Amino acid sequence: MTTNRQWLLDNRPQGQPSPANFRLVEAPIPEIGPGEVLVRNHYLSLDPYMRGRMDDSKSYSAPQPLGQVMLGGTAGEVLESRDPAFQPGDQVVGSLGWQQYGKCKGAALRKVDTSRVPLSVYLGAAGMPGVTAWVGLNTIIAPKAGETVVVSAASGAVGAVVGQLAKLKGCRVVGVAGGPQKCRAVVEEFGFDACVDYKAGRLRADLKAAAPDGIDGNFENVGGVVLDTILTQMNAFGRIAVCGLISGYSGEPMPVDNFRAILISRLKVQGFIVSEHMEHWPAALGELTGLIASGRLKYRETIAEGIESAPEAFIGLLQGRNFGKQLVRLA
Amino acid sequence: MTTNRQWLLDNRPQGQPSPANFRLVEAPIPEIGPGEVLVRNHYLSLDPYMRGRMDDSKSYSAPQPLGQVMLGGTAGEVLESRDPAFQPGDQVVGSLGWQQYGKCKGAALRKVDTSRVPLSVYLGAAGMPGVTAWVGLNTIIAPKAGETVVVSAASGAVGAVVGQLAKLKGCRVVGVAGGPQKCRAVVEEFGFDACVDYKAGRLRADLKAAAPDGIDGNFENVGGVVLDTILTQMNAFGRIAVCGLISGYSGEPMPVDNFRAILISRLKVQGFIVSEHMEHWPAALGELTGLIASGRLKYRETIAEGIESAPEAFIGLLQGRNFGKQLVRLA
């Protein structure tokens, strides 16, 4: 332990990102100042929103600067602390980015109880993706028992939680995912009532069959054709929480032909970013952690091994190669 | 006065409606039963929503049946009443459709005070279009002083009211309308801060110049390119009230390319139909009538003369040939 390997953003992608956009460097392990904590990262979180940060265009956050460590959520162990609230050995979640070691103020870390839930899960169902699911479902869709909720990217870190929370509320829950394997797991592992394979080429008919009474709520992670098809099957006063539009993150055209459904069915369509709803985090994390600890909320992880694997794992995530939460485990 | 001339829907339009979709017939003046009121219509209201009813497809209301009197709002005078709440000579607003005389239960009529506001205006700024403006602006956009609100079809019956109400709330108000004449009147008569001529071919640049701080609220009556351009200029947490999409009412494709703005700017986009917000009608009508009576809310009317003129006037409305509220005055 003498050096810190880090992935920097080297240059911005044109369209799909490639490994050449990133650069692996070695740096000294940082010294900490007063109030700071040094953490050894055990897991890096890879999330679709990172694609947006790689661009230099208007979005909801500042772009990731070139030549800097790729941003991102992390889970690890405190090595050294000059904040009295943290002790070496504490398990913590933070935002230290794509590197083996990082430091920050103690206030930017959250201590987690790995006796209830494994450390990695605090980056998934018991972390930002879980809270994202909770906020979009509860504050925008607000489904009632008996309503039908459709979740795209249903096998992903967010989608799987959305569907399970909606089931607990007594909804009929339909997933949309890519390929028969993912669809089977969405039903069998996560307990969705049905899951439509958007790659099978019968999206409209399959969705109609899976949601025969129409759709009251849509938690949208994908956009494009999936969203456009869902729009035509929304019931009056339906709600669409726009959480992600991964089908267009690399600049792909993503025309929506059925916008008029918003008028015809008097829909509410609302975009949101979980970090702007901090007031809900404590309640959401409490509920999610409890459900996971008691086995009522399932999760899956796709784990890439070693810091070297981060760019490829991230690109795979954008292409849907992951199942559940995409992580990188550090040695 | 022995016959009642009526416009029936004869056949459904393919695309743009034409006069051949309607048939003018003569019928006896109806006899009234207990609780009913006979009204002589003085004004027919023509409104864009009627185009949707002419189709036999899924929308928020049942289609207009073929061979029946075209539906629509009306203002007129009670001729005969078997409801003790109404007397001959009362001025009333109702939904008696495209005909000279009509009957209905008294409960379906609203007595209006023409000493404060002319009868025709109860079909416009002091009627359904005015309440539509009020509901969309107050319940969906809910603008704060200093925010920028953009209104499409700004010279129309609804748009002109939206803009004036938003000005009264201290907003910067920008209209979008077709042609320099309409745009000039929107600014000079209705007091908008600016108005962009969408026919001038510089929509994006002109809108940017008129709304230099971005757009916080959009009251959308048009859809298509106008909406798509507005989407790209919305500020974070903007609200779009989708009231109408007249650019696509005859089946024109209306792709929205910039749907991703809903996520990037965390917008709320909501469709609504004024008849589903009856709880707001009394407050809205009270406020609107007061503002009109005191001269603080302006309106314009385009009046076609005679029952024969209804189809052409309606087609003109869909093509934007009207200015302000489109009415038909009956002899």
Give per-residue pLDDT as tens, B17-38: 999 999 999 999 999 999 999 9
CB A244 within 8 A of CB A219: no
Residue A1 is predicted with a pLDDT of: 58
Residue A166 in tokens: 């909606």
Asked whether residue B2 carries a pLDDT value surpassing 90, the answer given is: no
Contacting residues of B for A269, CB less than 8 Å apart: 262, 267-270
Residue of A53, A235, A239, A259 to mutate, testing the B interface (most B Cβ within 10 Å of its Cβ): A259
Question: Measured between alpha carbons, how far is residue B325 from residues A61, A200, B304 in Å?
Answer: 44, 50, 11
Residue B61 is predicted with a pLDDT of: 78
The whole-angstrom distance between residue B40's C-alpha and the CA centroid of its chain comes to 22
Cα A238 from Cα A220, distance rounded (Å)? 13
Mean pLDDT of the region B314-322? 93
Residue of A242, A243, A265 to mutate, testing the B interface (most B Cβ within 10 Å of its Cβ): A242
Residue of A nearest to B239 (CA): A270
**Mean per-residue pLDDT of chain B:** 95
Residue of B nearest to A277 (CA): B266
Residue of B141, B229, B237, B262 to mutate, testing the A interface (most A Cβ within 10 Å of its Cβ): B262
Per-residue three-class SS string for A197-215: EHHHCCHHHHHHHHCCCCE
Give per-residue pLDDT as tens, B84-125: 999 999 999 999 999 999 999 999 999 999 999 999 999 999
Q: Hey, which residues does A103 pair with through a beta bridge?
A: A38
Residue A215 is predicted with a pLDDT of: 98
Grouping H, G, I as helix, E, B as strand and the rest as coil, residue A69 is: strand
Contacting residues of A for B58, CB less than 8 Å apart: 264
- Do A3-124+299-329 and A128-275 share a fold? no
Give per-residue pLDDT as tens, A39-68: 999 999 999 999 999 998 766 778 999 999
Q: Do A276 and B262 touch (CB under 8 A)?
A: no
Architecture of domain A3-124+299-329 in this structure: Alpha-Beta Complex (3.90)
Contacting residues of A for B269, CB less than 8 Å apart: 262, 267-270
CA end-to-end distance (rounded Å), chain A: 11
Q: Write out the H or E segment, with its range, that includes residue B312.
A: helix B310-318
State which amino acid sits at residue A301. Answer: E
B55 half-sphere exposure, CB direction, 13 A CA radius: 17
Cα B281 from Cα B275, distance rounded (Å)? 9
Task: Please report which confidence band the pLDDT of residue B251 belongs to, taking 50, 70 and 90 as the band edges.
Answer: confident
Asked whether residue B177 carries a pLDDT value surpassing 90, the answer given is: yes
Residue B248 is predicted with a pLDDT of: 84
Task: Please report which confidence band the pLDDT of residue B1 belongs to, taking 50, 70 and 90 as the band edges.
Answer: low
Residue A2 is predicted with a pLDDT of: 76
State which amino acid sits at residue B21. Answer: N
What topology does CATH give the domain B3-124+300-329? Quinone Oxidoreductase; Chain A, domain 1 (3.90.180)
CA end-to-end distance (rounded Å), chain B: 11
ipTM of this complex: 0.91
Closest Cα to residue B88, out of B108, B74, B106, B72?
B106
- How large a percentage of chain A has pLDDT more than 90? 93
Residue of A nearest to B245 (CA): A260
Residue B246 is predicted with a pLDDT of: 87
Placement of tokens 């219509």 in the chain: B41
Residue A57 is predicted with a pLDDT of: 79
- Residues of chain B that touch chain A, judged by Cβ-Cβ distance less than 8 Å: 58-60, 223, 227, 236, 242-245, 248, 253-257, 259-260, 262-273, 276
Give per-residue pLDDT as tens, A314-329: 999 999 899 999 999 9
Grouping H, G, I as helix, E, B as strand and the rest as coil, residue A158 is: helix
Closest Cα to residue A76, out of A140, A146, A29?
A29
Give per-residue pLDDT as tens, A148-194: 999 999 999 999 999 999 999 999 999 999 999 999 999 999 999 99
Residue of B nearest to A252 (CA): B257
Q: What angle do CA B132, B133, B135 make, to 5 degrees?
A: 65
Cα A130 from Cα A134, distance rounded (Å)? 6
Q: Do A60 and B236 touch (CB under 8 A)?
A: yes
Domain boundaries, chain B: 3-124+300-329, 128-275
Largest CA distance in chain B: 63
Residue of B nearest to A52 (CA): B264
Asked whether residue B59 carries a pLDDT value surpassing 90, the answer given is: no
Residue A81 is predicted with a pLDDT of: 98
Q: Do A259 and B227 touch (CB under 8 A)?
A: yes
Closest Cα to residue A47, out of A329, A314, A324?
A314
**Mean per-residue pLDDT of chain A:** 95
Mean pLDDT of the region B246-264? 89
Task: Please report which confidence band the pLDDT of residue B126 belongs to, taking 50, 70 and 90 as the band edges.
Answer: very high
Q: Do A243 and B262 touch (CB under 8 A)?
A: no
Placement of tokens 């392990």 in the chain: A29
Q: Write out the H or E segment, with its range, that includes residue B215.
A: strand B215-220
What topology does CATH give the domain B128-275? Rossmann fold (3.40.50)
CB B323 within 8 A of CB B182: yes
Which letter does DSSP use for residue B273 in this model?
-
Give per-residue pLDDT as tens, A236-262: 999 999 999 988 888 888 889 999 999
CB A161 within 8 A of CB A135: no
Cα A321 from Cα A316, distance rounded (Å)? 5
Closest Cα to residue B82, out of B40, B24, B117, B31?
B31
Q: Packing angle between helix A128-135 and helix A157-168, nearest 10 degrees? A: 50
**CB-based contacts of A84: which residues, under 8 Å, 6+ apart?**
none
In the A/B pair of chains, how many CB contacts fall below 8 A? Answer: 96
Q: Do B255 and A254 touch (CB under 8 A)?
A: no
Contacting residues of B for A256, CB less than 8 Å apart: 255-257, 259
Strand residues in chain A grouped as ranges (E): 3-9, 22-28, 36-45, 74-81, 91-94, 101-105, 110-111, 148-152, 172-177, 194-197, 215-220, 234-242, 268-271, 301-305, 325-329
